[in-house]
Structure 1
Amino acid sequence: MSGGGMWGGARWRMLVVIVLLAVAGGAGWLWHDLDRFSRTPLQVQAAGSSIDIAKGSGFKQIVAQLRGQGLSDAPPLYWRALAERMQVAGKLHAGEYALPPGITPRALLQDMASGRVLQHDFTIVDGWTFAELRAALDKAGKLQHLTTGMDNAALMQRIGAPGEAPEGRFLPETYAYVKGDSDLDLLRRAHAAMRRTLDALWPGRDGDLPLATPYDALILASIVEKETGRADERKRIAGVFVRRLENHMLLQTDPSVIYGMGASYAGNIRRSDLTTDTPYNTYTRAGLPPTPIALPGKPAIEAALHPAQGSELYFVARGDGTHVFASTLAEHNHNVACYQLKRCQR
């Protein structure tokens, strides 16, 4: 009996060892498989994909959404185990997250735990008019469109700039935003950026400029912006306009005339347009126009505040994006005949 008991005890211990080994082996396999799952790219269908986690979503809902979008067919238990191992199970944030090809479950959970939501870019282009800016904003995706149907005065009121004319007041650059931001949010930032830029640049302006206020500089910069897109010409063109202001000459800048024509401009400026008076017709009215005529970039503002020295009072387009400058009317008339009327004298 004692021998049988010893044998029975040995068999029992052996069984326990086998079970423990099986459990350990199974746990090891599960751990290995979980590690494989954490490093296996999700099934992203196309570049530019994203997932939008709604506010209030719990962990089960998030996993269900991942599976529902076909990103993963792994059991929910794997997602839970991975999140627990990463200590992020209760720390996932709502928002829109990028799904670049190759992203893994581990990387996605880390993004969600860090709140690293997808950012979109909106670029305000140097030289756009405010109307063009509004049209582009209306087409921007993932942005709340709160300004639709709002007139300019109401819009400026909403961004905290009541009574301001909007033209020229928004700094051209690229602004990042996330889903849920509004067009008003973006406009507030661009408006504040322009104000900061003017506040920073105005005190360092050249002395004795015929510009009484930062707003005058903004107006002049908008004209420079529309006259040339070439960095090597901005200060030279600004110098021409500054000297014309100093000499009480009409600015005679076509872009301002075109701006004043509004919707009636059909692509060509006629002689009659130059004699038809509007507040922006710099052939019929002296000084700067009443507002900017576009959104000038920082380089154009710097050019207006630091114009090139010289004697040039005129310039005319060559037709290749550059301009030819002149100090006398006779020289200018020759340049007009040569480059615009194609009557160059060899």
Structure 2
Amino acid sequence: MLRLVKFLAVLVIVAGVAAFAGYRYWESRLEAPIAVEEETLYEVPRGAGFNRAVADLAERGVIEDVWAFRLLTRLEPETIPRLRTGEYMLEPGMSGRDLIELLGSDRVVTYPLTIPEGWTFRQMRAHLDAAPKLENRTEGLSDEEVMALLDREGRFPEGW
């Protein structure tokens, strides 16, 4: 009987040490730097969930240990942010946890757009149409149709 108690005690100790070592290894994988050597633009597409983003980042070679991120959703679901659609700048030296925090933040990449004073409505529309990251929803519409969309139907577009 004493042998059985000693065996069970050793078994519990070994299991405890193994669980602790496994937990520390998992944490080290989340704290490891992501695989980017220079600033890299990453876009979270509309409607993407955490697992989809993790799979996409792994496919691009940014993260290696997909299992660690998936396990995070099971062990610490409260730390998984709701991803925000947009473009994010991934930086060298970021950890996996930093990456998760970034993708749930509002620190999206912004693009400046200046419309000089004195431009005509037509010049402004051409400038907006040429903006690389701006979604154009008025292409092919006349000035009158654009004004109608702005609830300014029948008004001359200059100055608005």
Matching of residue 33 in structure 1 with residue 7 in structure 2: no
Q: Which secondary structure does the structure 1 equivalent of 2:44 belong to?
A: strand
1:68 to 44, 55, 59: 59
Structure 1 spans left out of the alignment, 5+ residues: 1-5, 170-346
Matching of residue 131 in structure 1 with residue 103 in structure 2: no
Q: Does the Cα contact within 8 Å between 2:88 and 2:103 map onto a contact in 1? A: no
Separation in structure 2 between the aligned mates of residue 18 and residue 136 of structure 1, nearest angstrom:
74
Amino acid paired to 1:98: Y
> 1:152 maps to which residue?
143
Q: Does the Cα contact within 8 Å between 1:96 and 1:117 map onto a contact in 2? A: no
> 1:310 maps to which residue?
none
Q: Does the Cα contact within 8 Å between 1:156 and 1:163 map onto a contact in 2? A: yes
1 or 2 for the larger relative contact order (CA 8 Å, sep ≥6)? Answer: 2
Q: Which secondary structure does the structure 1 equivalent of 2:33 belong to?
A: coil
> 2:153 maps to which residue?
162
Structure-1-length-normalised TM-score: 0.40
Larger C-alpha radius of gyration, 1 or 2? 1
Q: Does the Cα contact within 8 Å between 2:89 and 2:109 map onto a contact in 1? A: no
- Aligned residue pair count: 157
Separation in structure 1 between the aligned mates of residue 51 and residue 25 of structure 2, nearest angstrom:
21
Structure 1 residues 120 and 113: CA distance shift in structure 2, 3 A? closer
Separation in structure 1 between the aligned mates of residue 23 and residue 134 of structure 2, nearest angstrom:
42
Separation in structure 1 between the aligned mates of residue 135 and residue 124 of structure 2, nearest angstrom:
15
> 1:217 maps to which residue?
none
Amino acid paired to 1:92: R
Structure 1 residues 126 and 94: CA distance shift in structure 2, 3 A? closer
Structure 2 spans left out of the alignment, 5+ residues: none
User: Equivalent pairs: percent with the same residue?
Assistant: 20
> 1:118 maps to which residue?
108
Matching of residue 92 in structure 1 with residue 103 in structure 2: no
Structure-2-length-normalised TM-score: 0.76
Deviation at 1:112, TM superposition (A): 4.0
Separation in structure 1 between the aligned mates of residue 159 and residue 136 of structure 2, nearest angstrom:
21
Structure 1 residues 75 and 100: CA distance shift in structure 2, 3 A? closer
Separation in structure 1 between the aligned mates of residue 117 and residue 95 of structure 2, nearest angstrom:
43
> 1:191 maps to which residue?
none
Matching of residue 51 in structure 1 with residue 43 in structure 2: yes
Deviation at 1:58, TM superposition (A): 4.4
2:8 to 13, 16, 35: 16
> 1:342 maps to which residue?
none
